[in-house]
Structure 1
Amino acid sequence: MTVHHNASLLDCPVTEFLDRLAAKQPAPGGGGAAAITAAMAAGLLGMAARFSTTQLVDATRRAAHADRIRTQVAALAEQDAKAYQAVLAAFALPREPDPQARRRQIQHSLQQAAQVPTQIAEIASNIATEAIDVAKKGNSNLRGDAFAAATLATAAARAAAELVRLNVELGNLDSDLAERAAQAADTAAQAMVAMGGS
């Protein structure tokens, strides 16, 4: 499998992104996959909104919002990869002569690495709740697409929240980010339950 490490994740074909995801390299990993999954969900949400102009007076606004958050969350895939590389670099620092400086650098990098999936979880939660609303009120012919958007976004939020929890535990960080991400994942899951999903 030939993997081009220098190409931007957002500029490579889907098959190349999948190859990079499967390659024996640290990034992209779970955070990048969650971000791209959330971006796909936002794309489906935008499509469902665009086909719902008869049913939703604010369909155009909803579609434009979906486009903005799709771009925003997709960019987090690249940021997540960079944040994880910084974590690896911090762990690679020598333990001597200053183990405390190394520990501070590790904690700082883990804090940064936890912030990106927190953003992913929060954006994905927003996508999920909006998609459920469009599924309920929008064009019934696009209900399946809106429901797929909500399902993908919920999965992305849950995956991102778990990554935050792991980074917070590993770095013995303040639990605020983990709580925010968990709340976002719970909100998305509750929207799915209200719609009749799981």
Structure 2
Amino acid sequence: MAEKLIKQTCEGFASALASKSPVPGGGGAAALVGALGAALCSMAGNLTLGRKKYAAVEPDIRVLLEKGEAVRERLLELVDEDAAAFEPLSRAYSIPKDDPTHDAVLEDATKRACAAPMEMLEQCAKAVELLEEMLKKGSVMLVSDVGCGAVCCKAALECAALNVYINTKALKNRVVAEALEHRTDGILEEYCPRAAAVAEEVTAQLRGK
């Protein structure tokens, strides 16, 4: 890939996603959606700064913005890292099965392909934590954006998990596979409900319930 995927326009990325090209795929989409969720958290924070009503929490908001920027940037990097991991995996699958290197090369490439979606899970979990705090401390005028960020992060978590599972299914080393799956399951079980709770709280506030 001569051009980084993340440097494309929104239209260009969506077109590439819809094309016959195997990358970007679900992993890249997961990372991008997670980055958008983190960005919405930052939007709420940036629009809270400078308001007298929220002066007491301004130092906290600034910390949230710093952390959110790091999460957003890392998730954007993972769009291309996920795509880069596909090429060696594709080459590994093209090695004839009677080649003595086939199994080892394929196993290594498959294991490496788990790295990007696993980190997506970790970063999206961090984003959910930031959104929880932003909901409590950010401007009430921005709660819908915080809720949207939570929905994006929940979707990104679930998408990233699918990209872990499709690779762990192919791993012959079941100890490694099960460890990755256990970690993935744990993140989903903790953070998907937390993200959903943020969105539900926002809905309740907006509808006066």
Normalising to structure 2: TM-score of the pair? 0.85
* Structure 2 counterpart of 1:39, one-letter code: A
Structure holding more helix per residue = 2
- Return the offset for 1:69: 1.1
Name the larger-Rg structure.
2
Count of matched residue positions in the alignment of Structure 1 and Structure 2: 192
Judged with a 3 Å threshold, the aligned counterparts in structure 2 of structure 1 residues 36 and 97 are, in CA distance, closer, same or farther, namely closer
Q: Describe the superposition over 1:60-119 as per-residue Cα deviations: whole angstroms up to 9, x where unpaired.
A: 111111111111111001010011121111001122341xx2111111111110111010
Choose 149-158 or 187-196, whichever is displaced more: 187-196
1:110 to 2:113 alignment: no
- Map 1:66-77 to 2 at 5 A: 66-77=68-79
- Asked whether the 8 Å contact 1:120–1:157 carries over to 2, the reply is yes
Q: Which residue of 1 aligns with 2:120?
A: 120
Unaligned runs of 5+ in 1: none
1:51 to 2:47 alignment: yes
Unaligned runs of 5+ in 2: 202-209
- Please give the root-mean-square deviation of Cα atoms over the aligned residues, in Å: 1.7
- Asked whether the 8 Å contact 1:27–1:85 carries over to 2, the reply is no
Aligned to 1:65, which of 60, 64, 67? 67
- Map 1:13-162 to 2 at 5 A: 13-53=9-49, 54=54, 56=57, 57-98=59-100, 101-162=101-162
* Structure 2 counterpart of 1:61, one-letter code: V
Percent same amino acid at aligned positions? 23
* Structure 2 counterpart of 1:37, one-letter code: V
- Asked whether the 8 Å contact 2:113–2:167 carries over to 1, the reply is yes
* Structure 1 counterpart of 2:34, one-letter code: A
CA distance in 2, matches of 1:111, 1:184: 19
Normalising to structure 1: TM-score of the pair? 0.90
Q: Which residue of 1 aligns with 2:206?
A: none
CA distance in 2, matches of 1:48, 1:134: 7
1:190 to 2:168 alignment: no
Runs of 4+ in 1 over 4 A off after TM superposition: none
